[in-house]
């Protein structure tokens, strides 16, 4: 409040505010200083853009080479033609008229008395930009040697039980074998092992020798001994380890067959010997499936019912595999005797037995409410035994 200010009586003097602040210096200079970092960044980006644009124009102005353009034009995944980088040689002949070029007429011969050098025509530029790939050479499948299919089937039935299932071979494991926690799988594997043993004995005694005076094949003989190891041996030696060694010996026997160092004789009498072993095995299994009492006179318990069931199923599973190989190895023998129908009937019964999958194996009475799964299995096992016996009789006839 200045001394010159006068106020009316009864009114207070009005306060005077602060002096006005001068506005900041405006103009372009202030804007540039405030946004200098953004402007510098834009200038750098524009400078780099100009450099890239200038380089792109220079590359476009340069004419592309024929080789590089043809390679770049080929789509991905297709073969590109191989174009020589040597300069293209043009024929020393007068140019043809445009009409002759369009009509595709052949080149006219040179005038008589002059001989022009004959040059290879340049590759046509009007053709496709890529050369179609050459057709793949299909190699025909190798014809298996005699005995290879049979031996491979023998290896497979044991390999499926040793290396394919969980925990491998169960009979010699401490938890699953000794304590019997998985007795169903254990008995199925024992049935497969019994078929493998009977088969390798016939292979060693008969099919690898033409007569009794011929020496045993060392690989097959060793495999037979390894298969005879007790299935519950855990160590010294391990059953599963010896069975794997037996499979390796049989693989080496197959290599000998391919190289001509080993023999396999598909004679009818050897086939009858194999079928005789299978028939005896099926007969024993059929008896266990139908009996009501054990050898000591006690009735068959429910705990033994599933053991007999799965043991027979293992026999059916392995024997079906081997008979399928037999049908290929002894095809000519079956054809001469017209016995394929009997073999197919045996395979059908064995496959049916191998695919029975009850939730619980029960031992009901033959006319009771509960199923008697042993009797159901015995139907197919008995049928296979009867058909194999008939097949043996037919093969033995002249």
Strand partners, 363: 372
Per the omega criterion (within 30 degrees of 0), is the bond before 270 cis? no
Instruction: Give the pLDDT of residue 56.
Output: 53
Q: From CA 199, how far away is CA 276, in angstroms rounded?
A: 11
Residue with tokens 């780099």: 48
Taking the CA atoms of residue 219, residue 224, residue 230 and residue 231 in that order, the dihedral angle to the nearest 10 degrees is 80
pLDDT given at position 348: 97
Phi and psi torsions of 299, nearest 5°: -65, 150
Helix intervals (H) in 232-301: 239-259, 268-290
pLDDT of residue 286: 97
256's tokens: 């000998």
Model pLDDT, residue 177:
78
Which pLDDT score is estimated for 42?
A: 81
pLDDT reported for residue 360: 92
Tokens, residue 70: 């043809």
Q: What is the mean pLDDT of each run of 10 residues along the chain (398 residues)?
A: 49 54 56 72 76 56 45 42 45 47 43 50 54 78 93 97 89 80 91 98 96 92 97 91 97 97 95 98 96 92 93 98 97 93 97 95 87 94 97 91
What's the pLDDT score for residue 136? 79
Using CB atoms within 10 Å of the CB of residue 371, give its burial: 0 to 12 exposed, 13 to 18 middle, 19+ buried: middle
The residue extents of the domains of the chain are 143-265, 266-398
Helix (H/G/I), strand (E/B), else coil: 2? coil
d(CA 127, CA 124): 6
The pLDDT value recorded for residue 380 is 97
Whether residue 326 contacts residue 319, with contact meaning beta carbons closer than 8 Å, is answered with no
So what's the pLDDT on residue 274? 98
Please report how the helices 148-162 and 239-259 are oriented relative to each other, as an axis angle in degrees rounded to 10: 160
Sorted by sequence, the CB contacts under 8 Å of residue 313 that are 6+ apart come out as: 188, 191, 353, 354, 356, 377
Dmax over CA atoms of the chain, in Å, equals: 156
pLDDT at 33: 67
Instruction: Name the DSSP letter for residue 166.
Output: T
């Amino acid at each position: 409040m200045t001394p010159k200010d006068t106020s009316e009586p009864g009114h207070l003097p009005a306060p005077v505010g602060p002096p006005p602040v001068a506005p900041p210096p405006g103009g372009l200079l202030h804007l540039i200083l405030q946004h200098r970092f953004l402007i510098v960044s834009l200038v750098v980006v524009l400078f780099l853009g100009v450099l890239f644009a200038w380089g792109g124009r220079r590359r476009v102005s340069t004419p592309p080479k024929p080789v590089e353009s043809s390679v770049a034009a080929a789509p991905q995944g297709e073969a590109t033609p191989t174009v020589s980088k040597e300069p293209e040689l043009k024929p020393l002949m007068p140019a043809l008229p445009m009409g002759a070029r369009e009509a595709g007429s052949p080149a006219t011969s040179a005038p008589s008395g002059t001989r022009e050098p004959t040059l290879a025509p340049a590759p046509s530029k009007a053709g496709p930009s890529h050369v179609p790939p050459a057709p793949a050479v299909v190699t025909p499948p190798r014809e298996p040697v005699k005995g290879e299919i049979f031996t491979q089937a023998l290896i497979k039935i044991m390999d499926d039980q040793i290396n394919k299932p969980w925990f491998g071979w169960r009979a010699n494991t401490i938890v699953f074998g000794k304590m019997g926690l998985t007795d169903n799988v254990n008995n199925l594997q024992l049935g497969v092992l019994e078929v493998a043993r009977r088969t390798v004995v016939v292979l060693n005694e008969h099919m690898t020798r033409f007569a009794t005076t011929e020496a045993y094949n060392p690989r097959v003989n060793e495999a037979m001994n390894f298969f005879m190891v007790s299935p519950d041996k855990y160590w010294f030696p391990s059953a599963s380890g010896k069975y794997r060694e037996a499979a390796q010996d049989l693989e080496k026997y197959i290599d000998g067959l391919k190289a001509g160092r080993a023999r396999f004789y598909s004679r009818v009498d050897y086939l009858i010997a194999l079928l005789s072993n299978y028939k005896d095995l099926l007969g024993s299994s059929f008896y266990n499936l139908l009996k009501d009492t054990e050898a000591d006179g006690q009735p068959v318990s429910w705990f033994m019912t599933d053991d007999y069931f799965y043991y027979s199923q293992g026999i059916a599973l392995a024997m079906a595999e081997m008979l399928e190989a037999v049908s290929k190895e002894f095809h000519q023998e079956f054809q001469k005797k017209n016995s394929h129908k009997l073999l197919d009937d045996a395979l059908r019964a064995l496959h049916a037995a191998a695919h029975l999958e009850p939730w619980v194996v029960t031992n009901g009475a033959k006319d009771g409410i509960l199923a008697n799964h042993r009797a159901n299995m015995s139907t197919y096992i008995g049928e296979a035994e009867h058909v194999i016996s008939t097949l043996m009789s037919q093969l033995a006839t002249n």
